[in-house]
Amino acid sequence: MYQTTIKKSVELVGIGLHKGSPVKLRLEPLESNSGIVFYRSDVDVSIPLIPENVVDTKMATVIGKDGHVISTIEHLLSAVYAYGIDNLRVVVDADEVPVMDGSSASFCMLLDEAGLIQLDIPKKIMRIKKEIEIKEGKKYVKLSPAPDLKYDFTIKFPHPVIQKQELTLELTKDSYKKEISRARTFGFLHEVQYLRSKGLALGGSLENAIVLDEKTVLNPEGLRFSDEFVRHKILDAIGDMCLIGMNFIGNYEAMAGSHDLNHKLTLKLLKDADNYEIVELVGAKTAELEKAYA
């Protein structure tokens, strides 16, 4: 199995969640061993996708370099990760990735339009060798060794629509597209009102997020899944784990996980080389590992 990139450049225009302005997003092919690289065309700054370039995790995963940032990268990266793409240039002309409908479905459609192509260097994946955990109170995120790739997420909210939701997903491209990609980000009306008072979430609307008041969902079309909330949390986690720099084999588990906990988990994982091994997907012995990224 070899490294991949997209066959052709593709682009779209969408609204930025926080500033509410149009953002042009363009995806371009890159050669082997290039990794995922973001580029701000408006300020001519490239930002490689590495944990050290993460500058904020409070409301989204934000990367930055030389004082220039790109926010809300996790939904796009979630799709990129699920498609097993190793090398890609992401070009935006503003400081955030467009939010689209609040899920990653539009990015999956864009990647389907671009198509994938194999390159000339074997694909590398990371096999988790030790259990790694970040815990803060009752919240935690954890990676553990396993022969496959699963995401196991639990959330609890004191809201009648959400309450406790749990989901375990064996991640493949197909399972991601069917079960995860359409799950939208969500927020509470009082939070949206507060953020707007601070000049944030100006692009947020019922068109690109699930919004809840104290009792119910305000979106007239309702939910796409009865447990759409925990499905979106898995979507976010997949995107955040893209910061590792390659696909991995192992189990991810979270209780009330967040962008911040995920970032700390990637840093802890990469800090000690004994936590993992890098495997080149060549030969019959790697056939089982390849299934997740076929």
Whether 229 and 30 have beta carbons less than 8 Å apart is answered as no
Q: Does domain 125-293 have CATH number 1.10.10.10?
A: no
Please give the mean pLDDT across all residues of the chain.
93
Q: Is 259 a catalytic residue?
A: yes
- Which pair of structure tokens corresponds to residue 178? 């069917």
Q: Does the structure show a pLDDT above 60 at 220?
A: yes
Q: How confident is the model over 118-139, as pLDDT tens digits?
A: 999 999 999 999 999 999 999 9
Q: What's the mean pLDDT in 12-35?
A: 93
Q: What's the mean pLDDT in 43-56?
A: 96
Whether 104 and 79 have beta carbons less than 8 Å apart is answered as yes
If pLDDT is split at 50, 70 and 90, which confidence band does 191 have? confident
If pLDDT is split at 50, 70 and 90, which confidence band does 282 have? confident
- Distance CA(261)–CA(278), nearest Å, equals 23
Among residues 137, 154, 151, 125, the alpha carbon closest in space to that of 276 is found at: 125
pLDDT at 278: 95
3-state secondary structure of 244: helix
The percentage of residues in the chain with a pLDDT greater than 90, rounded to a whole number, is 84
Nearest-Å Rg of the Cα atoms of the chain is 18
pLDDT at 290: 60
Q: Does the structure show a pLDDT above 60 at 293?
A: no
- Within the chain, all domains assigned CATH 3.30.1700.10 are found at 125-293
pLDDT at 189: 85
Catalytic residue among 18, 75, 232, 259: 259
The percentage of residues in the chain with a pLDDT greater than 70, rounded to a whole number, is 94
Beta-bridged to residue 63, according to DSSP, are: 54, 70
Q: How confident is the model over 233-259, as pLDDT tens digits?
A: 999 999 999 999 999 999 999 999 999
Helix axes 74-82, 105-114, angle to 10 degrees: 50
- Distance CA(30)–CA(47), nearest Å, equals 14
Q: Does the structure show a pLDDT above 90 at 288?
A: no
pLDDT at 286: 59
pLDDT at 48: 95
Element (H, E) at 189: helix 189-197
If pLDDT is split at 50, 70 and 90, which confidence band does 200 have? low
DSSP 199-237: T--TT--TTSSEEE-SSSB--TT--SSTTHHHHHHHHHH
Determine the topology of domain 2-122 in CATH.
Ribosomal Protein S5; domain 2 (3.30.230)
